[in-house]
Amino acid sequence: MSATGLEKRYGFRRSSTGRVITITPVMDAGRQFFGHAQNISRTGMLIHTYMPIAEGDELDMEFTLPGTESAIKCRVRVMWAGSFKRGEGRVSRGGIRFLDLEPALMNRIDRWANGEIR
């Protein structure tokens, strides 16, 4: 599938290189979830976190897009997960899908990913 086809199917995706999307600490089933997003689209994002995650996990998440003020809160599902060694610890890396984002929030993410919101 061409890049244009992917954008039509999934919406625009924007890398957060240089502008870190921080996932606010959220308690989920007694675990504190904190991380950073590497890229984001209207359907999900790639995250890095020191909290172990596994495919199928569902978590509450809160994040703010760089250049915006209001937080986005939603429930997510880990679609795939892996980990790698960093220093003395391990970093979990995973693709997450938003489960309950309202259309207005999806549109805000699309506008940000398309560079309309800086």
Tell me the pLDDT tens digit for each residue of 63-116. 888 888 888 989 999 999 998 887 777 888 999 999 999 999 999 998 888 888
Q: Residues 6 or more apart from 46 whose CB is under 8 A from it?
A: 37, 38, 39, 40, 93, 94, 95, 96
The conformation of residue 9, written as its DSSP 8-state character, comes to: H
Residue spans of the domains in the chain: they are 3-113
39 within 8 A of 13, measured Cβ to Cβ: yes
Tell me the pLDDT tens digit for each residue of 32-61. 677 888 888 999 999 888 888 899 998 888
Q: Looking at the domain covering 3-113, what would its CATH class be?
A: mainly beta
